[in-house]
Amino acid sequence: MDFYHFYTGKEFEAQEYLGAHVYLGGTVFRTFAPSARHIAVIGEFNGWTETPMCRVYDGNFWECSIEGALPGMMYKYRIYKQDGSFIDHADPYAFYGELRPASASIIYDRSENEFHDEKWMKKRKDMMQEPLNIYELHFGSWRKKTEEEDGWYSYEELAQLLVPYLKENGYNYVELMPLGEYPCDASWGYQATGYFSPTSRYGTPKGLCRFVDYCHQNEIGVLLDFVPVHFAVNDYALWNYDGTALFEYPNSAVGVNEWGSCNFMHSRGETCSFLQSAAYFWLKEYHFDGLRMDAVGNLIYWQGDVGRGECKPGINFLQVMNQGLKQRLPEVMLIAEDSSSWVGVTKPAEQGGLGFDYKWDLGWMNDTLAYFSMPPEYRTGNYHKLTFSMQYFYDEHFLLPLSHDEVVHGKATILQKMGTEYERKFPQARALYMYMYAHPGKKLNFMGNEIGQLREWDERREQDWCILDYPVHDTFHCFMKELNQCYLENPALSEEDYNRNGFRWIDCHQEEKNVYVFERRCSTQTILAVFNFSEQVQEYEILDSRNLTLLFDSNWECYGGKTSSQKQKSKDGQKDRTLELPPFTGRYYIAE
C-alpha cells in the first residue's frame, strides 16, 4: 500500500496491507485507528484474551502477528478509547464474517478463490452498442429452500437454479442487490458493516466466486450493487471506530442521513481510499462485471438536497474513484443510481463529469409509471409524459429501470399500478414493456415483474411462483420471455441507443387517440414501433412507402390478447395502410 496515496484518497488496494493476512502457520493483523489509546486482537486462537497490537509506520496503524491464528477462526479488535473504555470491533477490512446477529470477523485465505472464466473475461465490454438486459435480484428472496426467513440457498446452489432461468428468459446480465456483510435483513444490504466481506447468509467467499464463475461460463454478466454513501450505525462496525468519528462526519447535520445511517466523510482521504479499495476489490477479487452505485445524488449534493448546494468532496471522490477504476479495469461498467438532474454523470471525469458509463433514468421511470397508473381517460391531457424523456435523453447514457424501489413500501407492483380493473392490467403491462424495450437505453427489470406479480416484494418471502399456474400469468410470462428475446436478437433496439440517428419520432401528436409512433434504427435494421395506450380501438394511417412486416404484437392470442398472429402479419404487410389498433397495444414492424 502507498501510504501517501492512502492519506490523500488515491489508494485502490488498501486491503492488501490492512486486514487479516494469512501466512504459513499464522496471520498478521493490521488496522488503521489513529485516535485509539490501545488495541488488542481477541479471537478463537487466543481464547478471546488480548494479544496487544503495536503502533507501526507513523503511529496511526496497528499491527501484530499471531502464530496459530488460522483460516476459519473468528476474531475482533478490542479498541480502547482515550478515556480507557473499549468496544470490540469487527475488522473494517475483513474478508469474511459471522452470520448475523453475531458479528465477529473470520480469517479467510483468499488463495482459495479460483475462477475458470478466462474466455468471458477477455471479451467482456461496456455494452454501449449491444443489448443490455439486466435482471435485478435479491439473493435471499428469489427462491427459498424453506418457508423460514433464513431458508436461503447458498451461492453455489442458487447459481444452478438462476442461470438456466436467466438464459430461458432472455436476460444477459444479473444485478445483485448489496452482498457486503450487513446486520439487518430489512435493509437489503444497503446499510453495511463489511465492505470487503461477502455476506455469510449464503455461504463463503469461495461460494460467491463459484456463483460468478458459473454465470460467466454460461454467458451471463454479473453486476453488484455498491453503497459508497453511508453505512450501518452498529457500534461493533465502522461507527466511532477508534473512539472518534473516523469514517463518518462528526456533525450530525451532515453525518446522519434520511435512512438513519451514518454518512461517510468523503473529505477525508483515508475514507475515500477505504471505499474505492472496496469497489476495486469486488471487481478484481470476485470478477464482477460492474458496479451499480447507490444514492449518487447524496454525493453530488449535501444530503441529496439541491438547496444545500453541491458536495464538492463527494463529487471529487466519485471522479477519482471512477477514473481509477476505469484505468485499472476499462471494460467494467459503472452505473449511477442518481435522482438528481446534475448534468455530466456519464461524462468522463477528466472532462469534468463523474465518469460513470450509465445513469438510471429515474425521470423516465416516474413519468412512465405515472402515465400508466392514471385511468385511460386522463391520458390525453398527460400525453407528453411519454415524449418528454427524449428531450433530455442524449444528455447522459441512460439506463431504463423498473427496479425493486418501485415495488415496495405501498407503491404496488408494476402490474398493480396499471390504471384499470384487474383484467385490463395485463394488456396495459404488455404495452408498457413493449414501449420500454423500444425506447432508447439499456434495460433493467426487477425479479417478479416478469411473471406479473401482484404482491409487493418482501425480502422474507420468495417470489409467488405459484401464480404461474394461472393462465393469465403464464401467458404474461411467455410474453416477457419472447419480448426479451426480441430485444436481444434485433440490433435496431440497442446498437444506436446513444446516437441521435438511432431514434426518430414518426408521430408524437396524437393526443386524442393516445397513439405514439417512432422508429429505431441501426446500420442493418429499422424497426417501427406503434402504440395505442387508449382504451378504445384506434385507426391509424401509416404513411410510409416501405414494406412493413409485423415482428411483434403485444395483443397476440398466445400472450392473452385477441389478435391472430397469422392474420395480422398478412394484413400489415401492405403499403399505405390504415392500422386498426386494439386498446392497450404495442407493435414492432420491420421496415424495408
DSSP string, 209-254: HHHHHHHHHTT-EEEEEE--SEE---TTTTTTTTSS-SSB-SSHHH
150 belongs to the catalytic site: no
Residues whose CB is less than 8 angstroms from the CB of residue 78 and which lie 6 or more positions away in sequence, other chains included: 39, 40, 41, 42, 50, 86, 87, 88, 89
136 vs 155: CA distance, rounded Å: 16
CA neighbor of 270 nearest in space, from 526, 486, 14, 67: 14
Least confident of 117-121, 352-356, 403-407, 543-547: 543-547
pLDDT digits (tens, 9 = 90+) for 513-536: 999 999 999 999 999 999 999 999
pLDDT digits (tens, 9 = 90+) for 203-213: 999 999 999 99
What is the SS3 assignment for 532? Answer: strand
Determine whether 544 is exposed, middle or buried from the number of CB atoms within 10 Å of its CB (0-12, 13-18, 19+): middle
Domain at 159, CATH number: 2.60.40.10
pLDDT at 566: 52
In this structure, is residue 459 part of a structural domain?
Answer: no
Summary mean pLDDT of the chain: 95
Strands (E), 246-344: 262-263, 290-293, 333-336
pLDDT digits (tens, 9 = 90+) for 306-350: 999 999 999 999 999 999 999 999 999 999 999 999 999 999 999
7 vs 52: CA distance, rounded Å: 25
- Which one of 175, 181, 270, 294 is the catalytic residue? 294
pLDDT digits (tens, 9 = 90+) for 116-164: 999 999 999 999 999 999 999 999 999 999 988 899 999 999 999 999 9
Residues whose CB is less than 8 angstroms from the CB of residue 24 and which lie 6 or more positions away in sequence, other chains included: none
Average pLDDT over residues 530-553: 93
In this structure, is residue 148 part of a structural domain?
Answer: yes
Cell of residue 234, nine digits: 452498529
464 vs 410: CA distance, rounded Å: 18
In this structure, is residue 99 part of a structural domain?
Answer: yes
Question: CA dist 197 to 41, 53, 192, 262, 370, Å?
Answer: 19, 23, 10, 19, 39
Distance, CA of 550 to chain centre: 34
pLDDT at 571: 47
Phi, psi (degrees; rounded to nearest 5) at 320 = -65, -45
pLDDT at 576: 53
Residues whose CB is less than 8 angstroms from the CB of residue 122 and which lie 6 or more positions away in sequence, other chains included: none
CA neighbor of 231 nearest in space, from 260, 266, 254: 260
Q: How confident is the model at residue 460 (pLDDT cuts 50, 70, 90)?
A: very high
331 belongs to the catalytic site: no
In this structure, is residue 65 part of a structural domain?
Answer: yes
In this structure, is residue 237 part of a structural domain?
Answer: yes
Q: How confident is the model at residue 577 (pLDDT cuts 50, 70, 90)?
A: confident
In this structure, is residue 428 part of a structural domain?
Answer: no
pLDDT surpassing 60 at residue 485: yes
Segments forming the whole domain that contains residue 244: 1-110+140-294
Query: How many domains in the chain?
Result: 1
Task: Please say whether the beta carbons of 535 and 582 come within 8 A.
Answer: no
365 vs 371: CA distance, rounded Å: 10
- Residue-wise burial string across 285-302, b where 16 or more C-beta atoms lie within 10 A, e elsewhere: bbbbbbbbbbbbbbbbbb
Residue with cell 485507528: 33
Q: What is the pTM of this model?
A: 0.95
Give rounded-to-5 percent helix, strand, coil for the chain: 35, 25, 40
Please give the DSSP secondary-structure letter assigned to residue 404. G
pLDDT at 149: 86
Q: How confident is the model at residue 421 (pLDDT cuts 50, 70, 90)?
A: confident
pLDDT digits (tens, 9 = 90+) for 267-320: 999 999 999 999 999 999 999 999 999 999 999 999 999 999 999 999 999 999
Average pLDDT over residues 81-110: 97
Question: CA dist 556 to 426, 451, 552, Å?
Answer: 13, 17, 8
Q: What percent of the chain has pLDDT over 90?
A: 92
17 vs 222: CA distance, rounded Å: 27
What is the SS3 assignment for 456? Answer: coil
Q: What angle do CA 329, 491, 436 make, to 5 degrees?
A: 90
- Which one of 13, 126, 242, 337 is the catalytic residue? 337
pLDDT surpassing 50 at residue 567: no
In this structure, is residue 535 part of a structural domain?
Answer: no
70 vs 291: CA distance, rounded Å: 32
In this structure, is residue 448 part of a structural domain?
Answer: no
Q: How confident is the model at residue 569 (pLDDT cuts 50, 70, 90)?
A: very low
